[in-house]
Amino acid sequence: MDFIVGSFNHSSLYLLQFTPASGSNESSLKVIREHPAIAGHSWLSLSQDKKFLYCTAWLEKPAIAAYRVGANGRDIQFLNAKNVKALSGYVCSNQSHVFSAGGPSGEVFRREADGTIGDLVQELDYVSGQGENQSEKRGDVAHGSFGGLRHGAHSVDLSPDGESLYVADIGRNCIWTYKVIHSKRGISDPPLELSSKHISPREHDGPRHTWPHPNGKVLYSLQEHSSMVDVFAIAEDGVTLEHKQGCSVLPSGKDCKKYWADEVRHSTGPDPAKPRYLYASNRGLDAGTMGHVAAYKLKDDGFLKSEDPIDIFETPTSGGLANAVEPAPWTKHTGDEEYLALTDSQDGWVSILSFDGKKIKEVSKVNLGKTNDGKVVTFAWQAITILSGTQGIQRVSENRTIEYYPNNIVIGTVRDISATQARLSKDGITSSNIHLLPVEITNAASVQKAAQDVAAITGGSLDFLIQNAALVDTSTAYKSVLDLDPQELGERLKASFDPNVVGTAYVLSYFIPLIRQSQGKKVLVTSTGMADLDIINKFDLEFAVPYSVSKAAMNLLVGKYHAAVGRSDGILVFSVSPGFVDTSEGKQPTEEELKGMQAMGAKFATYTPDFSGPITVGESVGDMAKLLKRATVDEFGGGFVSQKGDKKWL
């Protein structure tokens, strides 16, 4: 597990690496790189494709900053910064905008295609006409007000579907909700529309941070002053909240006036759509008051199974300004044990906590020492960004697929690199994010080497695997099973079975260990509707025997991989027919092929009366990309569907 940590007082970004215990080897946490930064960065937020890092920048004149992230965090380059009205406490982004919130105000900037922060397009005001600041009524507080952050807007988060935005405001004791009315890049129209101001359940709460459940129907809110975690139901409009539950981060008998809260997050697996646990943390207001990390059991719908915590862990220090927690990506190798990163600004520690469903404990930690002027490097609240599993990495065998993933790292494994490079050049596809690796799918050693090469590029993980390599026996495409000599039939069946079944087994077996280490955890294997036994029987589809039979066997193989890693690891493995696709690229069929195509077309017309001919490669790939994005283990695991996600093959 690799992750980046920022600080309040030191102009560096630290890349850390945690290795869990294995056999006789103890777990370890170490700093593997220190990157120069323009300021102390109290909050870090990776773009969805993990290519860019957006940060709060605690400069003399408050700002937010953008960095380019390469080589899985081994290379971080400053891009630009933009000033904001007040010290920013939190940033987040989508494909088109960067959002900031801090104290009395907030800002929305354009996000440019190169990752830089563009022009300011919208300002947010949390003071004018909003009445008395409830937090300021508490009087002076330890550690200062941070330019209004202690008594104002403190966080900004998007809903899972990107259509809503939530701002927690300590001072106004509320959560502001916005509709995201557009996500268009390159225009100056304001993207947010204020919907509601939701007052917190208690007068002394002070919402600090919010975090949505993956289903988009539940919002968790951590309260600064009461150390409570409140659970809200989100209405269908995405912006109306209804309070449902509340639980305390504090052990019984503790006085909330001696603490201030920090972070709330949910666990990441085995099924990322149904996290098992909710984690929340707080800090002591003075150095002698230790902070806490609490764990709660979640139901599948996102609500608390009980308002009583499973366990409350007392942190080694007060946490200072930090005690931020961030769960690591879940993997099968850790079993029931989950890991969380924890930052401390009192003494400068970064720790890894483990949770086995019963107890939280510290398993490893590292101290980053002091700044040049002798001060402890004070790690920031929630300046932890997990990098393991770079979102959006694709493996493709059809080079045209990559144009649908312009913001991702694309790794194509091909038999002929020079021919593929020529084709990419012809199609006008040029990008530093595209990598080509040689592979012979029927050779286990070759596939294993390709997996090792991919791991070297990505840092050991792979979010999405598209297994598209196959043998299509064009010579038998339009022939019936009885048109072939028995010996020839046997030879062609063997020839198709080797790449289409055995080759697929090699690919999945060697690449799934990389998938386990990722956040995406999806494997799509291309199949064909001609492998559907019901359709074959109903419409007498006697064509393409070796291809259809080998793909049917492959579909069963996919089911076996789902049985092995679907529910246990939360990895989606499924077969998808790309549809009846025109891959001829203008090549004219022979007379024999034309007759076969006409006969097949007549059968297809019986199956689908409105059949109008093949679809384009672009249409097919676009449909599969959309399907891959929305597909879940519960709905599609081990399944065999069309590019639309149904059983309609044409």
Catalytic machinery residues: 547, 551
Q: Which two structure tokens, joined as six digits, stand for 608?
A: 């689908």
Q: Which two structure tokens, joined as six digits, stand for 589?
A: 């069929």
At 466, the amino acid letter reads I
Q: Which two structure tokens, joined as six digits, stand for 483?
A: 């048109």
Length of the chain: 650
Q: How many CB atoms lie within 10 A of CB 242?
A: 11
How far apart are alpha carbons 631 and 616 in whole angstroms? 22
**CB-based contact 442:502 (threshold 8 Å):** yes
DSSP code at position 134: T
Complete DSSP assignment for 82-107: EE-SS---EEEE-SSEEEEEEBTEEE
C-alpha 440 chain-centroid distance: 31
**CB-based contact 524:571 (threshold 8 Å):** no
At 43, the amino acid letter reads W
Per the listing, tokens 């002070």 go with 206
At 564, the amino acid letter reads A
Question: What stretch of H or E contains 67?
Answer: strand 63-70
At 153, the amino acid letter reads A
How far apart are alpha carbons 469 and 337 in whole angstroms? 36
Task: Give the residue from 580, 561, 581 showing the smallest Cα distance to 571.
Answer: 561
Which residues contact residue 24 at a Cβ distance below 8 angstroms, ignoring those fewer than 6 apart?
Answer: none
How far apart are alpha carbons 386 and 235 in whole angstroms? 30
Q: Which two structure tokens, joined as six digits, stand for 64?
A: 């937010």
How far apart are alpha carbons 155 and 645 in whole angstroms? 37
How far apart are alpha carbons 390 and 184 in whole angstroms? 24
DSSP code at position 222: E
Question: What are the backbone angles phi and psi of residue 454, rounded to the nearest 5°?
Answer: -65, -45
Per the listing, tokens 């509340």 go with 246
Maximal CA-CA distance, the chain: 92
**CB-based contact 528:550 (threshold 8 Å):** no
Question: What stretch of H or E contains 513?
Answer: helix 504-516
Query: Rounded to the nearest 5 degrees, what angle is found at the Cα of 146, between the Cα atoms of 140 and 149?
Result: 90
Query: Rounded to the nearest 5 degrees, what angle is found at the Cα of 223, between the Cα atoms of 221 and 224?
Result: 140
How far apart are alpha carbons 404 and 619 in whole angstroms? 11
At 479, the amino acid letter reads K
Q: Which two structure tokens, joined as six digits, stand for 512?
A: 């799934």
How far apart are alpha carbons 158 and 239 in whole angstroms? 11
How far apart are alpha carbons 53 and 63 in whole angstroms? 14
Q: How many CB atoms lie within 10 A of CB 448?
A: 15
Which residues contact residue 213 at a Cβ distance below 8 angstroms, ignoring those fewer than 6 apart?
Answer: 160, 219, 220, 266, 275, 302
How far apart are alpha carbons 288 and 390 in whole angstroms? 39
Query: 3-state DSSP call for residue 345?
Result: coil
